[in-house]
Each structure stands twice: as structure tokens, then as C-alpha cells.
Structure 1
């Protein structure tokens, strides 16, 4: 049987998008032989230019893009797909663009499935969030976004499986940030100033470019919002109570080097917090959803060292999923954040692309 052609339209050729293309190229034969799927990239774009190629990406795609890419609009993308009669089309959004997300609904209406690392579609106003779902249902299309939460571990898949099996999820809590996990794991176990650990984290490449959102709790709150809506909670970002790690009188610089040079002002308060903990407790920066109490929080907590959250090491992350039937014995999902982040995210995107491809295969078989 001939392999099913899947046409991937890739938005974003930064480190993640490029890693995705390389992973598909390296595994192309495997996908064809073992999964009967032929993944192709007829369109590749950056923020302003698009490279259109009917036969998909070859090993010289970067050179082709630099030489042949042209300015484009979403209308151009839709027109090209229709003119070339491309079927089984999956949009991959490997950008951080809020503007691109505004085109999701017309893309769905024109027959495109979507896989997104971009979080924007799931954290904008709830009306937009619901409108996307209405159109997905109406046009029978798929939208997967596992890497919105944590690349490399299927948190959303586990939650979705539990939710749609009728299992009542009562609470989700955990450490969602690998960089803050590293920082508080060390701070809790070593007699070292908080600011010193921050500088060590920067040397290890753990402080993200959006470090302001990380330390203010905003980045983690966005992940919590995605999870809460996945559980059917129609909340907005402002419904989340965020306890920033920064003191009120600490003005957050925009430049990372300036932030690190000023970070010593945080040392005293955090050291006092650590000292005042109960014995055999450690500090962790957690996100928590409590369904019965309708409570959504990001906060610094003192955690027993024997708990799943208290036992974290290095850059590990963890999600505790509590259900009605399991009571106080949560499902614990650990994240191992070793390896290059962009490679892990790309692999997560590819996993979602393959899931959508399998759904398309099943639909094709039913039609036949």
C-alpha cells in the first residue's frame, strides 16, 4: 500500500523549526516503512517570507529558502494549497506569534489541521478559545499542542484521557519550570546565596530570554491557564493568583546582566523564608489548580522533602494529578529536561504531527 502523504506547512524556521525538519528528514524512511506515512514540507515560512515547493523539502532546503523565499500572506498559503490540490495538510506553528494565531480559524475553515508549540491560542480570551473549538468540531479538524506545557512528557494527553474517560480530576500541582526547579533545588539543599545560584544558572544556560516572566510567575501561570481550560474551566489569566518571586521594591531590569547584578537584594528575604521552614522541608515554586475550591495559584511553598515535589533534583519538573478515585495518591508525571531544549520541543511537535497523521489515516480507511 502506498504511504499516506502528509503535507506539513511549517511556520517558523528558528532553532525549533529547523530541528523539526532535520528530525523528519532523518526518519523519513522509517515513517514510510513502519507507519506508512510520507511527511513532506511543501511550504516553509519565517515571519515574512515563504518558500513554496511542491515535492517537499530536500537536503538543501536552507539554501533553497534563502534563494527562493518570497513575501506571503495567509491567503497565499491557502491559495497555494488549493491550487496544488494538497491533501492531509497540517499547519505546524513553531513561532511565538500572537498574530499568526489570529489566522487559525480561517485555516481550520479551509481544511487545515494544526499542531502548535505556540501557546497564544490557548491563553487568549475564552471566547476565542471556544470559537476555535467550535470550528474544529464543525470542520472535523485536529488541534494538538502538547508542547504548550512541557516538551518530552505527555501531560496534556494524560489529563485528556482521564477527563474524557469520566475520571474527575480534583487537583493538579507541580513544578513547571526547569530553570526555577534547578534554582530552588540548589537553594534548598546548599548554604549558598540565592543570587549566586542565579548566576550559576545563567552560566549553565538555564535562564531563559523571557526571564522576567519566569521570576514574576507569569510564564508558569500561562501553562496553568492551558491546563485549567483543558479541564473545562472557563477562566481568564487574571483569575490566577500569582505570587511573584520579586519583592515589591525590586524593579526588574529588562537586561539579564543588570538583573543578575541587582539580584543580591533578594537574598535576605529568601534566606529568612528558608530558615523559617519546618524541619525536612524545602522551598519549591509551584503552580496549583484546585477544582473543588475553584482556586488557581502560582506561589512559593515549603514542601516536605519526602514528597514527589520535594525530591526533585537538578532541572527536573513534576506534575501531580489528583483524581476523585485516587484520593490523596496522585498520578505523578516526571519530566527529564536533559538534552537540547529545541530538539526536545521539535520531537514533541513531531509526536503531535504523527498523532494527527494517524487520525487522518483512520478517517481515510473509513472513507474507503
Structure 2
């Protein structure tokens, strides 16, 4: 015998019921079939609403009953020919009249009891059972409808009745032994006491009804038809990358269903597991899909089968020194909760016995606290224990898999993934069977956590990185171009999906949880909200996306002051903005510490040499135990361009103007020519070498006359360059006379740093440095006789963007 169950969406409309009938027609009667059906989708909620309105003395219940009647009448008219509608409508009216009389009585009394509510809720399944059975008869099948209340016997716990299995099994076996029908349609969810009072098996109880019937008749298989193609590795409404699970064990299915998987009602598994009856979850609307087969453990190699979660959790913690070594505290705690009929979802206890923590549904926390504090009133008064501590706004995420116990490091991967992304774990529970690892986290982190865990265990080929970009000018624009160009390569070769989920400039800010289309960001950004740095940061935090990276392409001091807000939320920071790392040492150190403490990356390679691996090379030397003796460098592409073009016959003013026109200098060239930019760069290298140094500790040997620096405007500055033309000619002539070239050099040696214009001899590595290239010489314990040289283009939007791009990839890997 085979048992099939169809859920509310599967019988939710006339079209859906016809689809169910087509599925059943394909099941040729090679034996008997029991078909368990739910109420039409949404009807049970309407029935509950009608009962509650009636109990509250509100006549609106009549409108709700009318909606229920209209819904079923429409289904009858669409399902059956006119000649067959009369009898169907008559049966429907009879049931609805009984329902209306029941609600009228409740309205008169002004009270809705659990017993009355069970009776009201039963009408949805009782009506849909008749509709499906009659439609099957019309299809020419030998079908009938059997009221489950005549088969399933329960206690009187209305709302969630417990089944009397000996009596129930006897009734089911006796009925099917005598029934001549090939297809017997039964209403799910409903049952009755031994006295014939209607009871229900709990929301989702239609699954349970099907499992009870399947176990009683030793069915060959139990099919559960729903609106999804089987159990998923995660809730697809939260994790868009979730995939169907083809095979799963009974134990795994039970764990997942208890921890929030909605496809199957938790008690369903036990009856069929005891009889080792396979359960096949199928999609009514895609019947060719394989679905999920629940049976004995398969040979699947993956450690984790699925992940799930429970929302609206509260943690209760009982603690105190008076608990240590004293038996009975746990027993009394659970008895207090039992008296209030409060279900405990998670338990964890410290090895010191100083505390015990349990997780319950948040809606029950006030009753729980009152009950527990009353139970331990004496101990609380005597200061032996503390009043019960209650924490709310929490959720549980659970990782489930039979094979986890045979895979080392599963827990480490789980908690490492959460920790690296700033998801704080409040409590942990792991069963002795090692089939389930549960973690309590903040409710706001659930979506992020589930996506992270799913990515870790199910999406190894593709890791998603979410970028929040500040600055969309020259460098930012080039970065976006490069990201768009490399999308396919990153996915295919590195397994990275890099999405820009936030983009802001000085005027507008654009955010999209699902990513900004890079092909038309220039059109989207001007239409977005007005730019507001605090609001941008707040929205980034609110999105709380996994693997988030803040990318600063600006030169803004205001933006640089916000890095700590990202790092302390586990959001990595990549920046070409030198201000943060060259500001007060304390802030620089704070950022480095925050990155370490919150498992975030703080990367700023482009602060010194644009796309050149200047800082990474230095870090590799130090991490491997080398010691830096000195750093000598030409670190300004703009200054190198100026002095490479300042040759005999050239006017210094014209060369500076050309550099500005080419975009090699800042709009105010004094920022470059004053050496301040180079001071920041050598300061950063000194700090990365381990020096505790401030900007004022660096000696700046200025070559610009003070009058040039003090000019009130850029135009006046250029005028002063003309005034002091002889000064610059003299600098050049002195160098030429000595057979040398002018270079603006930064130097750090044994705790001291300086910058300034120098005459470089032909044998020096700096002598032949052309164009806007940069060069850095590291003299270390290992590179004492021949310095390690890093050389290449050190300016330009393209190379700077590529350096930022490389840092973004480092954060992901």
C-alpha cells in the first residue's frame, strides 16, 4: 500500500486539485492508495480568525465565513460540470451551516475554548477531502472519502492532541482490510477522542496523519506532495543559493524539521522511521523533479546535509556560586518550565556547574522568568543564585549532518566562518551523536549567518564578496571598470563573485542588497539618495551582508575617520586614502588592532606605491623574521615626472604646469611639491616596519621657497615660481655640474626619517628612474649588501585601481 499526502498549496485551487488528480491517475491501482489532504491554502487561518472574532464578540466573523464559503463554491463550479455541482454544493452548505452554528454559539457565549477551536479548524480538511474524492470519482477512479476522526484516536489535549497508537493502528488496519476502494481520501490534521470529540494534531498535522496511516498499514512508501522540490540545504527565502537535497536520513530530516525546515512537520518522521518506510517529498507543480528521499543513511560523503534556523529565541540563564556541587538545580529548573508547558529548544551548561542556559521561544520568556524566579525564590533571597537572566532578540542556526562526526574540523569551519564576519555566538550546543551543531546568535545576523554557513559548506567553488565603495571619480571609476571586466575570470578561475552593493560619491549614494549593475552605474548613481556618510554607514550595517568590504577611493579625512566603525563590525577596509594610516599613531594602531580582534582585513597597499607591491613586500620580510635597517625611496610619481622633465633649457613653472595638466599632481601642486605626500608615505612604511612615529618626527628638507608655499592661491603660486625661476635653475645646474640628477627622495633608517630633493649619482639605482615611476630600496639583514628593489609605475588611476582590486581579492582569500 502507498500513502500520499497533499498540502494546502497542492489543493489550494481548482487548478491545483486537477493537478493532484492527474498525479493520482498516473499511480495505477497496483494496490490500495491512501490520500491525505490538507485544507485549501489559507483556509485554516481564516477559520481560526473567524473563531477568534466570534469569541471576542465581533460580528466580523460572519464576513470571514462568507469568504470561506465563496472560496469553496468557486472551486466546485470550476471543478465539476453543472450536472454534478448540485450535490457538491449541498454537502458544502451542510458543513458550512454547522460551522456557522458553532461560531454563532461562541459569539453568544463570548468565549472560544481550545475544544471549540479544534472543531472549527477541522472544517477545512473535511471539506477539501470531499472535493478531492469526488473529483477522483469523476476521473473514473474507484475512490471514496473517509473521515480520519473515525480512525485516529487521541487524548483530550485540544490543539495538539497525543495519539493513542494501539487504538489508532487497530482502526486503520481494520478499515483498509475491509475497504474495497482503490483510492481512499482522508482529511489530515483532524482526529477525535475516544468519546468522539474532534481534536487536531497541531499545525502541519496533515503530514503526521499521513505518517500515522503509513506506519499502521506498513506502506511501501509515503509521498508528501508540496509546493517545493524537496527539502533544501537552507531556506531559499533567506539563502538564494540553496539547492535541493536528493537523499537524507531519517535522523537528519528530523533534526532539520525541528530546527525550522518547513517542508515537513517534525513529528512526521518518527512513525515511519520506526517502520523504516521511505518518505519521498515531491513537488505537486513539478512532479518530474526528483525531490527528496528520506530513508536510512546514504553513502553521501559531504559532512553537512543542511542548515536551518529558528527565529524569535530567548536565552534563560540560571547562575550562581550556590549551584556548584549541589544536585537538583537543573531538575527544578526544567520542572518549573514544565509546569508552564514551556518547550526547551536548546540546553548548554558550563563545566564549572556555575550556570545553566536554555533556549525557549521568545513569546514564553515572561512566563518562564516568573516561574523560575518563584521556584528559586529562597535561593535568590539568600544570594546563592541570581535572578533568572533573560536575553531576547536571538535566533538559533543549526548545521545538520550524519557524517559530521567523521569529518574533523566541521565545528571549526562553522565558528571560524561566523567569527571572521563579525557574527557573535551567544551559546553553543552539540548533541553527543554529533549530528547537529547549534549556535545562538543575534536575530539581526540570521540572514548573514545562514548565507555564510551555506557558502562555506555548499558553495565552495564560488564565494560572494560584497563591496561598499566610496568615491567614483578617476580611481573609483577605473576600479568599477576593472571589476566589470574581470567578473567572469574571477568566478571561473578564483571562485569569487564580487558584487558592488553600495556606491557613493560626494553627491549621491546608491545601495542594493542584490548588487548594482556595473554596466549602468553612471546613470543610476545621480538618481540615488543624497550622499550622507553617517547614513551610508548605517545602511551598510543594517544590510549586514556576508564578506563585506568597504573600499575608500577618496582623499577625504572625514571618510578616513570612519574606518573603525566598519572594522569593529567585521567589515574589511581597503583604501588608497593615506590619511588614516598617516594620522596619529594611536588611530593607526587602533585600526590595526580592530582588524585583528574582529577578524577583518585592513589593507592599504596603494597608500605608498599605487599598484606596486611595496607594503606587501615589506610585510612579507618582517613576518618571515627579517629586520629592516633602512628604506630609501622615490615615492612620488608626480615629483619624479617633474624632475625627469626639468632638464637644461626647461622652465620649472612650465614643467609643473605640464604635470598638473597631465593629472599627475593634485589640483594644488604644492601638496606634491611640498613633500607632505611623500612624508605620509615614508611614515606608513616606517610604521609598517615597526616604528612608533608621527608626522612631526620626519625631517622635511624643502626645496620650494617659503614664498611659493605661502602664496594665497594656485595662480599666485605659479607667479612665485616665475619670481624664483633662478632658484630652480641653480638647483638644476648644481646637479648637472656634478654629473647627477635631481630626485625627491624619502629615507628611513634606524628610527629616523627624512624627505627632500637630492642629487643622485649615475651609479645609484635612482639615477635612471624615468617618467612617473616609483622605486623602493629595502636594506635588511637578509638584503644587506644588495638591497631588495621594488620598481614600477607609482601613479595613475589605472594602476591605483588595480592595486585596490588586488587588495579586495586578498580580503576574500
Provide TM-score, normalisation by structure 2. Answer: 0.41
**What corresponds to 1:323 in structure 2?**
780
Residue in 2 that maps onto 1:11 = 470
Match of 1:142 in 2: 601
User: What SS is found at the alignment partner of 1:149?
Assistant: helix
Q: What residue number does 1:343 align with?
A: 798
Q: Which structure 2 residue ranges, 5 or more long, are not aligned? A: 1-459
Q: Are 2:68 and 1:68 aligned?
A: no
Quote the Cα distance in structure 1 between the aligned partners of 2:570 and 2:794.
35
Q: Judge which range, 70-79 or 5-14, deviates more.
A: 70-79
How far off is 1:79 after superposition? 4.7
Task: Find the counterpart in structure 2 of residue 129 from structure 1.
Answer: 588
Could you say if the C-alpha distance between residues 184 and 79 of structure 1 is closer, same or farther in structure 2, counting changes exceeding 3 Å?
closer
Alpha carbons of structure 1 residues 192 and 156: separation in structure 2 relative to 1, 3 Å: same
Report if the CA contact (8 A) 2:668-2:714 is conserved: no
For residues 67-86 of structure 1, what are the structure 2 equivalents within 5 Å? 67-74=527-534, 77-82=537-542, 84-86=543-545
Aligned partner of 2:742 among 265, 275, 283: 283
Separation in structure 1 between the aligned mates of residue 792 and residue 724 of structure 2, nearest angstrom:
28
| 1:300 Cα deviation after fit | 1.4
Structure 1 equivalent of residue 675 of structure 2: 217
CA distance in 2, matches of 1:152, 1:48: 28
* Aligned 8 A contact 2:635 2:794 in 1: no
**Contact 1:194-1:266 at 8 Å conserved across structures:** no
TM-align CA RMSD: 2.2
Measure how far apart 1:267 and its partner are: 2.9
Q: Deviations over 1:90-118 (max 9, x none)?
A: 01011112122222112111120110111
Partner of 2:183: none
The structure number with the bigger radius of gyration is 2
1:177 is aligned, of 636, 641, 644, to 636
Structure 2 residue 704 is matched with structure 1 residue 246: yes
Post-superposition offset of 1:346: 1.3
The Cα of 1:224 is off from its aligned counterpart by 1.1
Q: CA separation in 2, counterparts of 1:251 and 1:221?
A: 16
Separation of aligned partners in 1, 2:722 and 2:781: 44
Q: Establish whether residue 299 from structure 1 lines up as the match of residue 759 from structure 2.
A: no
1:120 counterpart SS class: coil
Residue of structure 2 equivalent to 1:46: 505
Partner of 1:65, secondary structure, is helix
Distance of 1:124 and 1:258 partners within structure 2: 29
1:211 Cα shift?
A: 1.1
* Separation in 2, partners of 1:80, 1:198: 41
Q: What TM-score, normalized to structure 1?
A: 0.88
Q: Give the structure 1 partner of residue 807 of structure 2.
A: 352
Structure 1: unaligned runs, 5 residues or longer:
359-368
Whether the 8 Å contact between 1:212 and 1:252 is mirrored in structure 2 is no
CA-to-partner distance for each residue in 1:167-196, whole Å, 9 max, x for gaps?
111111121112211222233x53434334
Question: Structure 1 pair 271/322, CA: closer, same or farther in 2 (3 Å)?
Answer: same
Count of residues in correspondence between the two structures: 352
Contact 2:670–2:709 (Cα < 8 Å) also in 1:
no
Displacement after TM superposition at 1:49 (Å): 3.3
Shift of 1:34: 0.6
